[in-house]
Amino acid sequence: MSKARMSPLRSGFVHLALAAYTVIALFPVVLTIMNSLKDKNAIFRTPLALPTVETFSLIGYTTVLKQGDFIGYFQNSLIVTVVSIFFALLFGAMAAFALSEYRFRGNTLLGLYLAIGIMIPIRLGTVAILQGMVAAGLVNTLTALILVYTAQGLPLAIFILSEFMRTVSDDLKNAGRIDGLSEYAIFFRLVLPLVRPAMATVAVFTMIPIWNDLWFPLILAPGEATKTVTLGSQVFIGQFVTNWNAVLAALSLAIFPVLILYVIFSRQLIRGITAGAVK
């Protein structure tokens, strides 16, 4: 931390700007949670008011928990997100290690090829992916989603991690080689712990789009047994009638698991940063 003093006026402006940004960022979330605790009339009459004694109602939450298998949806979302992050990080880190550590023909070209996925959205390939999944008999399975999301997460993971792996000292890896560690041991025991902050960053960036995605669950796994939370909430949105209480309650509930995952990863992230600074 820098100890240089700032004038109170300047630091006041900084805090003002940050506070304003916080309010803007939190506003939709707070609004959703607030309205999820009101009855239907209050939602439409006074959408910006806090729930009062008269308007307070848990009808949305009871509807959500009664209708459909919401616990199951949560489970599906968690499984898909956690497993996809795990594979994206594992394979991304391995590819990044190979790209940054070994000199071979076409190294730069391969790195570029793998990073192109950042610019081209995977949804462009939806039709082909669906045909592939149908052919492989993977439609309506969580495996289909995990495969797609792992592929979606890989480009960014490889791009960020290979930059970080270049900063790991060559001497350390060479010391491991002289001590007889295999390349796998060097990767898992020496390099991965040192790039942990980068892994946490990638995990956060990969996690949010997967958790929020509606597209691929709707196309690849719309069956009742494999519905994710985002897809599950859609049953309350009808063409003519929308059960807003239930939708808002479902969305509020969907925030918490992802919030917990985020807290876990960001802890790692901060610990990694401070550990590096003290060295």
Partner 1 sequence: MGSLQLKSIRKAFGNHEVLKGIDLEVEDGEFVIFVGPSGCGKSTLLRVIAGLEDATSGSVQIDGQEVVTTPPAKRGIAMVFQSYALYPHLTVKDNMGLGLKQMGAPKAEVDAKVTKASGMLSLEPYLARRPAELSGGQRQRVAIGRAIVREPKLFLFDEPLSNLDAALRVNTRLEIARLHRSLKATMIYVTHDQVEAMTLADKIVVLNAGQIEQIGSPMELYNRPANTFVGGFIGSPQMNFIEAGRLGDTGAKTVGIRPEHITLSRESGDWKGKVIHVEHLGADTILYLETEVTGLLTVRLFGEHKYDVDDTVYASPDKAAMHRFGADDRVLR
From 82, 90, 151, 190, residue interacting with partner 1 (rule: CB under 8 A): 190
Q: Interface with partner 1 includes 196 (CB under 8 A)?
A: no
Residue 171 or 263 having the CB closest to partner 1: 171
CA distance 96 to 149: 18
From 29, 112, 172, 264, residue interacting with partner 1 (rule: CB under 8 A): 172
Q: Interface with partner 1 includes 175 (CB under 8 A)?
A: yes
Q: Interface with partner 1 includes 271 (CB under 8 A)?
A: no
* Footprint (CB under 8 A) of partner 1, residues 112-171: 169, 171
From 58, 122, 194, 255, residue interacting with partner 1 (rule: CB under 8 A): 194
* Footprint (CB under 8 A) of partner 1, residues 218-247: none
From 107, 131, 174, 242, residue interacting with partner 1 (rule: CB under 8 A): 174
Pick the piece of the chain touching partner 1 (CB under 8 A) from 43-51, 83-91, 124-132, 190-198.
190-198
Task: Tell me the one-letter amino acid at 218.
Answer: L
Q: Interface with partner 1 includes 273 (CB under 8 A)?
A: no
Pick the piece of the chain touching partner 1 (CB under 8 A) from 23-31, 83-91, 188-196, 217-225.
188-196
| The three-state (H, E, C) secondary structure of the chain, written as one string | CCCCCCCHHHHHHHHHHHHHHHHHHHHHHHHHHHHHCECHHHHHHCCCCCCCCCCECCHHHHHHHHCCCHHHHHHHHHHHHHHHHHHHHHHHHHHHHHHHHCCCCCHHHHHHHHHHHHCCCHHHHHHHHHHHHHHHCCCCCHHHHHHHHHHHHHHHHHHHHHHHHHCCCHHHHHHHHHCCCCHHHHHHHHHHHHCHHHHHHHHHHHHHHHHHCCHHHHHHCCCHHHCCHHHHHHHHECCCCECHHHHHHHHHHHHHHHHHHHHHHHHHHHHHHHHHHHC
Residue 11 or 169 having the CB closest to partner 1: 169
Q: Applying CB under 8 A, what is the total number of residues that bind partner 1?
A: 17
- Work out how close the CB of 176 gets to partner 1 at its nearest, in angstroms, rounded to a whole number: 8
Pick the piece of the chain touching partner 1 (CB under 8 A) from 68-76, 89-97, 172-180, 257-265.
172-180
| Residue numbers at the binding site for partner 1 (CB under 8 A) | 169, 171-172, 174-181, 189-190, 193-194, 278-279
